Amino acid sequence: MTKVPVYDESGKYVTTVAYNEDLDIWDGDRFCFGAGLHLGITKLPDGRYALIYGEEYPDGEKKAEVVSDRMAMTAIIYSGHEDMLDEPRYARLGILFENEGVGDPCSDALYEKLRQLRCDIDKRRSAGGSPAVGQMQGTV
């Protein structure tokens, strides 16, 4: 089982978690992702949530970052896995969704983050570099 480092909003290492693609959204369309990009989620022991980013490529970096409850909930909804909100570990996010909804995906920070990730990877590929996931910028 692959383990990935988790970083907080300041870039500080927090812990290591098991890699997953529970929010796998690669379908050639969603969030303007291309083939091989994946998204996962996990709940940390302290109760916060982390999104897991990765690529299928052999040298593709896999990492995770602590995100707000709103961003975690938004990722679940936008990836089409809203049934996860019924799981006990994501119950708090289900309540958040019932109370506030998700808002406009085009203005959401998650959408912008994933769009930027796609652009960064495309730039590295066109420059002949590795398609590995780079350091994510900004958090919600």
What pLDDT shows up at residue 130? Answer: 44
48-64 confidence digits (pLDDT tens): 999 998 876 667 778 89
98-110 confidence digits (pLDDT tens): 998 876 554 566 6
Domain ranges of the chain: 3-126
* 3-7, 93-97, 113-117: the lowest-pLDDT one: 113-117
Structure tokens at 101: 């909804």
> pLDDT-derived band of residue 87, with 50, 70 and 90 as boundaries?
very high
5-48 confidence digits (pLDDT tens): 999 989 899 999 999 888 875 455 544 334 567 788 999 999 99
Proportion of the chain in helix, strand, coil states, percent, rounded to 5: 35, 20, 40
118-138 confidence digits (pLDDT tens): 566 566 556 655 444 433 333
Sheet holding 13-18, edge to edge: 13-18, 3-7, 63-67, 49-55, 37-43
